Amino acid sequence: MQALATPADYCRSIAVSSPSESDLTIDYGFFDRGGDRLLILQSGIHGSEGETGSAVENFVLREYLPKLLAKHIDVLFIHSLNPWGFRHDRRTDEFNVNLNRNFVTSPGDYRKDNPYYDQLRSLFEPMAAVGNTLLEALRNHGRFLGEFSALGFDGQPITVGLNSGQYRHSNGLNYGGMAPAQQVSALKDILGPIVSRPYRKALFLDFHTGLGNAGELAIIKGIHPSESMTRELETMLGGHEADGIVIHSGSDQGFYPTIGDVIDFVPTLPAQRSGGPPNASENILAVTMEYGTMGLDLLSQLRTASRMVMENQAHFFGCTSPEVCAAVRKDSHELFSPSDPVWRTRVMREADLAFTDLVNQF
């Protein structure tokens, strides 16, 4: 990589303050060729998903950065936006905030209600130590199925309640916080000056794992994406369904819209810097790059939800033995960073396909 560097390039770190640790940083590198297009890769906003995102960033850095720069595309890498979560294998930050529910564009969103979460809170937050993981999983599956039946087999309350984000229960799942986390100002400092340049277009890729069919790369659009750039993205990457790359929106079956998602925040940065209302730029498209791990069938969704519930439960209420907590951590790690070599090979193959098209067509 040294041969690629120029005086305009830089690698920097932003310290993340912590009451318990002193060496947490968000690291980023910008390769600036004065190009007319910008590509941004970000990983680790959910700490436990950072391993795969880091692997893809490293792959692109080694295999595709020279090709992108040769096409006059400037490239920014942002590594581990949530370093505490990455270190401790949690999706959240140190304060249990899901940072991908914290990037709101209106301060009032920090007071936004999620009535489905409130209604089903006892399902999502068992307030007791975790016992035998197999028995706990079976109990959770039964409770979820019972609620599903009681709701008239309408899965929306459970899906939206569990996943969309909530701002009342600080020990709960997908808690979005009460105010901007320090990563919000950090991302503004890193990204704001760059996306405010007169690029013809910019593409922001936020890497995740978990949601979707196992081994499939779901490219998920935000709430109000740029229409012209969405069409361009669909032209570039929309022909790879047979290869395991599928474009989705949050309203598609098995997926869900979220509050405070970074992909809805990033396109508003130029307007925020100019002091105007947080309107999204038509020249910036931000998407989630989500590698599925379990699946979208009912059993897979039950297993995913149960593991998330138990991980949060163990964090706040502990376990009946150290062995149980170790099993909870292992199951949670496998949910977001599968050890299966076939799955890992698919991740790299799909990244290779996607970036081949980006180099040739972006």
- pLDDT of 103 reads 97
Per-residue pLDDT tens over the stretch 73-103: 999 999 999 999 999 999 999 999 999 999 9
- pLDDT of 3 reads 54
Per-residue pLDDT tens over the stretch 111-131: 999 999 999 999 999 999 999
Per-residue pLDDT tens over the stretch 165-188: 999 999 999 999 999 999 999 999
In the chain, domain spans: 2-109+175-293+339-361, 115-162+297-336
Closest by alpha carbon to 215, among 60, 24, 344, 110?
Answer: 344
- pLDDT of 1 reads 47
Spell out the residues 6+ positions from residue 129 whose beta carbon is closer than 8 angstroms to its own: 313, 314, 317, 318, 319, 320
Spell out the residues 6+ positions from residue 259 whose beta carbon is closer than 8 angstroms to its own: 101, 104, 109, 112, 164, 165, 176
What is the residue-wise DSSP string for 309-339? HHHHHHHHH-BSSHHHHHHHHHHHHHHHS--
Query: Are 39 and 76 contacting, i.e. CB atoms less than 8 angstroms apart?
Result: yes
- pLDDT of 273 reads 86
Asked whether residue 339 carries a pLDDT value surpassing 90, the answer given is yes
- pLDDT of 327 reads 98
Per-residue pLDDT tens over the stretch 200-253: 999 999 999 999 999 999 999 999 899 999 999 999 998 899 999 999 988 887
Query: Are 209 and 291 contacting, i.e. CB atoms less than 8 angstroms apart?
Result: yes
For residue 22, how many other CB atoms are within 10 A of its CB? 7
Query: What CATH class does 2-109+175-293+339-361 carry?
Result: alpha beta
Mean pLDDT over residues 278-282, rounded? 89
